[in-house]
């Protein structure tokens, strides 16, 4: 069996598997139903009313809006809709630029793409709006013979109104759907984390029994890192729901305060699980699954009263009872627990722990400033979009604008690896073309095809959360079937055109937006490692300070501990995301990422040791204060650039931390 500290040989195409592997996700039922009805519905109405063109423009608008919606709160998505719709509508105005010579049209569209890339740095709503602008603009400059572009503007506005109406209808029918979905996903992900901890500890115990050593070694096939990444991602999604919902909480603050307490409890549970023994972790997994399914009514979590994890689980159960969004909860209106006491009095934290800090936030024009990374990504987007617009001269088919569509979809600045997205889009489009061709052969009637478009739109939200290639599988047939409805030409020809244009667009992205730019190919592992090491040092320092006797000082220490723990969790999450991004890249970058796997694993083991040390001190265990040089050693990890040096230093730091614990706790 190979050592976990040695990167395994990489097959030249080994990056394809991780890149195409779907993510886990909860099926977004409300989003999917809304997408199907608002995209397929206008097509059906247009066919029945004899105005297919109007149905097409409205359906195109709602398709873009469905693809731009996030799995967050209603308020977040309404904000995205209100901000992105005017930006997207403005894209149709570029249709009046069709008369420009190509040598003038290319730089104009490149400058507009630069602007769309820059505003992506202003937030999610502007990022979505910028991409929708480029998509609409590509269609507007590419569809010949259409003069009245003010009409698509009005149809897009109607589509936005229709989509907003369905969104508000869902909100009226189930006001707590975003919170319920987020909390259930968080409970399930945390249960998976606890189960992974139990499995890893069982494996470690067996390895220790076979080869005794002072400090037990981590199992080679550890499940904890991946499960922890899933739990942290679910916690981040729940925080997004909280922050966007709390911002519009006039008259409903008690509900969101209870939600914040649940998030603080869950964050503590996630931090304490890596320090739990196998039996405690297994029991925690059972209770978390029971809370998620209603098999264990909220407020009835049990466990060893002296164990910090069991105490936090009981607090989580009580605060879930106050929130009332999970099965078996009562939703007490004023944040009271099942025993009638104030949940905030037992949670050990305040709603502010889940809210972002606003002190020192930029105001006025300073809020519009963007960093060098955003400007660099916007410049690469402008270059590739300009080359794609120039496809009008070199692409030998009428639907040349699909090249620009591909570039806009792949190079949206906050989407991550452009190489992986380019490959996934080409693969997804080929599959989508095959599905669309099959539908056309089986369902020749326009009405049946319009219904099929709605079916494909139904799967767009779910496929978006699974993989980008799957998103293309759902969107490509919808677009191709749309062309079939409004065109009298052979649709199969358009299908092959789309494959060719998509391949060219992907090649433009890779050749001009990826390979020449080191910043686009570089995986930011070492900077993320430095940030994670600094956050871990702060966490260890807060955990290792003497516990004061004064209540106010004790409360201040606890708040500092919670804040530093959250920062450490975020730092490790960012480090893990960079590693996963690197593993999805081709040879070279992937080889570099492979060499960092042992180092990242060692850093996560240090985090587990810090959590174990903090948990023992929280429970009143007899452990010494953390030496000052131990904190500095953790901080020094961030200055190391060689992965093997990082692994060795992190292993020494972990051994030192575990050496402070009693023998029974150390071997747990």
Q: How confident is the model at residue 6 (pLDDT cuts 50, 70, 90)?
A: very low
Among 231-245, 263-277, 596-610, name the one with the lowest average pLDDT: 231-245
| Cβ–Cβ < 8 Å for 614, 545 | no
Highest mean pLDDT of the ranges 60-64, 304-308, 373-377, 570-574: 60-64
Q: How far apart are CA 387 and CA 380, in angstroms?
A: 11
Question: Residue 175: what pLDDT?
Answer: 61
Among 187-191, 213-217, 232-236, 649-653, name the one with the lowest average pLDDT: 213-217
Under 8 Å CB-to-CB from 249, ≥6 apart: which residues?
Answer: 255, 256
Half-sphere exposure for 356 (CA within 13 Å, toward CB): 12
Q: How confident is the model at residue 89 (pLDDT cuts 50, 70, 90)?
A: very high
| Cβ–Cβ < 8 Å for 650, 642 | no
Query: What's the token pair of residue 280?
Result: 């405690």
Question: Residue 56: what pLDDT?
Answer: 85
Mean of all residue pLDDT scores within the chain:
74
* Average pLDDT of span 217-238: 69
* CA Rg value for the chain: 27
Residues 136-175 have pLDDT tens digits of 999 889 877 667 888 889 999 999 999 999 988 887 776 6
Residue 128 has pLDDT above 80, yes or no: yes
Question: Residue 523: what pLDDT?
Answer: 65
Q: How far apart are CA 542 and CA 630, in angstroms?
A: 12
Residue 491 has pLDDT above 60, yes or no: no
Half-sphere exposure for 8 (CA within 13 Å, toward CB): 10
Q: How far apart are CA 478 and CA 232, in angstroms?
A: 34
Q: How confident is the model at residue 208 (pLDDT cuts 50, 70, 90)?
A: low
Q: How far apart are CA 59 and CA 51, in angstroms?
A: 13
Pure H helices in 247-325:
253-272, 278-293, 308-323
Question: Residue 159: what pLDDT?
Answer: 94
Q: How far apart are CA 386 and CA 509, in angstroms?
A: 11
What phi and psi, each to the nearest 5 degrees, are found at residue 25?
-170, 155
Highest mean pLDDT of the ranges 41-45, 119-123, 422-426, 445-449: 41-45
Query: What's the token pair of residue 430?
Result: 């080929």
Q: How far apart are CA 140 and CA 389, in angstroms?
A: 12
Q: How far apart are CA 302 and CA 280, in angstroms?
A: 11
Q: What does the H/E/C string look like for 569-589? A: HHHHHHHHHHHHHHHCCCCCH
The secondary structure element, H or E, covering residue 485 is helix 468-486
pTM to 2 decimals? 0.66
Residue 653 has pLDDT above 70, yes or no: yes
Q: How far apart are CA 156 and CA 54, in angstroms?
A: 10
Residue 322 has pLDDT above 70, yes or no: yes
Question: Residue 103: what pLDDT?
Answer: 92
Q: How confident is the model at residue 374 (pLDDT cuts 50, 70, 90)?
A: confident
Highest mean pLDDT of the ranges 380-394, 397-411, 489-503: 380-394
List residues bridging with 336 in a β-sheet.
Answer: 342
Question: Residue 73: what pLDDT?
Answer: 62
Highest mean pLDDT of the ranges 295-304, 326-335, 363-372, 406-415: 406-415
3-state secondary structure of 342: strand
């Amino acid at each position: 069996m190979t050592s976990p500290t040695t990167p395994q040989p990489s097959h030249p195409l080994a990056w394809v598997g991780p890149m195409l592997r779907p993510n886990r996700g909860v099926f977004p039922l409300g989003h999917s139903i809304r997408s199907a009805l608002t995209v397929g519905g206008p097509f059906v109405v247009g066919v029945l009313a004899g105005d297919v063109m109007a149905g097409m423009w409205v359906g195109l608008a709602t398709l873009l809006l469905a693809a731009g919606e996030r799995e967050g709160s209603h308020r977040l998505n309404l904000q995205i809709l209100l901000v992105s719709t005017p930006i997207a509508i403005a894209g149709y105005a570029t249709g009046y630029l069709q008369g420009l010579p190509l040598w003038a049209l290319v730089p104009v569209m490149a400058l507009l793409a630069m602007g769309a890339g820059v505003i992506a740095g202003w937030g999610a709503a502007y990022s979505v709006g910028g991409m929708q602008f480029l998509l609409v603009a590509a269609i507007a400059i590419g569809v010949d013979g259409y003069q009245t572009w003010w009409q698509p503007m009005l149809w897009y506005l109607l589509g936005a109104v229709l989509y907003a109406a369905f969104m508000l209808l869902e909100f009226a029918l189930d006001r707590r759907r975003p919170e319920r979905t987020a909390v259930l996903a968080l409970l399930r992900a945390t249960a998976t984390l606890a189960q992974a901890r139990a499995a890893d500890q069982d494996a470690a115990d067996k390895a220790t029994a076979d080869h005794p050593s002072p400090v037990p070694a981590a199992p080679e096939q550890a499940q904890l890192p991946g499960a922890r990444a899933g739990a942290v991602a679910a916690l981040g999604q729940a925080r997004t729901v909280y922050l966007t919902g709390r911002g519009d909480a006039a008259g409903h603050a008690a509900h969101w305060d209870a939600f914040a307490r649940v998030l603080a409890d869950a964050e503590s549970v996630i931090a304490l699980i890596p320090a739990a023994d196998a039996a405690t972790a297994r029991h925690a997994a059972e209770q978390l699954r029971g809370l998620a399914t209603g098999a264990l009514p909220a407020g009835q979590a049990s466990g060893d009263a002296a164990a910090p994890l069991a105490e936090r689980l009981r607090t989580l159960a009580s605060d879930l009872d106050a929130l009332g969004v999970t099965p078996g909860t009562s939703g007490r209106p004023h944040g009271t627990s099942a025993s009638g006491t104030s949940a905030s009095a037992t949670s050990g934290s305040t709603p502010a722990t889940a809210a972002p800090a606003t002190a020192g936030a930029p105001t006025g024009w300073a809020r519009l400033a963007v960093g060098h990374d955003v400007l660099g990504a916007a410049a690469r987007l402008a270059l590739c979009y300009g080359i794609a617009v120039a496809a009008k001269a070199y692409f030998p088919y009428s639907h040349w604008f699909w090249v620009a569509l591909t570039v806009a979809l792949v190079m949206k600045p906050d989407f991550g690896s452009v190489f992986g997205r380019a490959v996934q889009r080409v693969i997804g489009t080929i599959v989508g073309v095959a599905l669309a061709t099959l539908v056309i052969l089986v369902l020749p009637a326009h009405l049946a095809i319009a219904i099929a478009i709605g079916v494909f739109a139904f799967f767009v939200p779910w496929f978006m959360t699974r993989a980008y290639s799957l998103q293309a599988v759902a969107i490509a047939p919808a677009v191709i079937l749309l062309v079939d409805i409004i065109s009298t030409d052979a649709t199969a020809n358009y299908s092959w055109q789309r494959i060719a244009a998509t391949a060219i667009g992907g090649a433009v992205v890779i050749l001009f937006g990826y390979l020449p730019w080191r910043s686009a190919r570089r995986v930011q592992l070492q900077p993320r490692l430095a940030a994670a090491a600094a956050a871990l040092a702060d966490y260890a320092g807060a955990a290792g300070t003497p516990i004061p006797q004064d209540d106010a000082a004790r409360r201040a220490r606890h708040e500092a501990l919670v804040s530093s723990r959250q920062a450490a969790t975020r730092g490790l999450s960012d480090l893990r995301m960079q590693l996963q991004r690197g593993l999805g890249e081709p040879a070279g970058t992937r080889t570099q990422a492979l060499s960092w796997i042992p180092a990242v694993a060692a850093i996560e083991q240090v985090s587990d040791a810090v959590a174990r040390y903090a948990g023992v001190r929280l429970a009143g265990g007899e452990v010494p204060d953390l030496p000052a040089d131990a904190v500095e050693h953790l901080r020094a990890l961030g200055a190391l650039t060689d992965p093997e040096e990082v692994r060795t230093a992190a292993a020494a730091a972990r051994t030192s931390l575990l050496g402070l614990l009693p023998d029974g706790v150390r071997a747990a």
